[in-house]
Homo-oligomer: A and B are copies of this chain.
Amino acid sequence: MTEQIATNVHWHDGEVSRDDRYRTLGQKGATLWFTGFSGSGKSTVAVALEQALMRRSRLSYRLDGDNIRLGINKNLGFSAADRTENIRRIGEVGKLFADAGIIVLSSFISPYRADRDSVRALHQEGGLDFIEIYVDCPLDEAERRDPKGLYKKARAGQIKNFTGIDDPYEAPNAPELVLKTAEMTLSQEVDAIIELMIQRGILFSA
């Protein structure tokens, strides 16, 4: 088996690199982190962006409550510790996807600055892009939209610790992008993100 061990070394020398994957995909992996109130428009813009990228044959993947809270984080609740662990795991998953060359679109309220900053640090340590996008919609507008009826339940006391009602939202201090969704059209929002991705070299061309 001495030959096989020598072969292993050879193969390990030739490990596929992050850059190999980036070249194959025509894009750099990155995590785009959408943060904002429930109803602010995070998922809406993520879905629209995903489609705009697919039209350009670019690969993105959305992480949201549907595929995270029911999957890898199904053993987490809503205590402070569990919320932090929720965001930490999402950040780690995002980091793996970005390393694989995928553009991750992560849509979670993620109300605490420290949690988001930890995810940013995690990406920076790994030499990966982290783009914080503040989906900035006034609370009264988000509550007026109330697409899932959650504000109504929170006001009625049926949901506790609801961000904006009885739990704080800490806006980003220095997000890479701010989307004022009560003032911008959806295509303006998508265009703004794509322009930023080109500037940052995440998309190699328009």
Contact = CB atoms under 8 A, between A and B. Distances in A.
Interface string A21-61: 10011000000000000000100100110110010010111
Main secondary structure of the interface of A (DSSP, over half): helix
**Copies of this chain present:** 2
Contacts of A57: 24
A1 B89 contact: no
A196 interface: no
A40 B141 CA distance: 59
A182 interface: yes
Interface stretch (A10-18, A152-160, A161-169, A170-178): A10-18
Contacts of A100: 59, 61, 97, 102
Contact of A186 (B7, B47, B71, B145): B7
Q: How large is the interface on A (under 10, 10 to 19, 20 to 34, 35 or more residues)?
A: 35 or more
A202 interface: no
Contact of A93 (B24, B93, B102): B93
Give the 5 A-B residue pairs with the shortest CB-CB distance, closest first. A72-B92, A61-B100, A71-B92, A8-B44, A11-B48
Interface of A: 1, 4-5, 7-8, 11-12, 14-16, 20-21, 24-25, 41, 44, 47-48, 50-51, 54, 57, 59-61, 63, 67, 71-72, 75, 85, 89, 92-93, 95-97, 99-102, 141, 144-145, 147, 181-182, 185-186
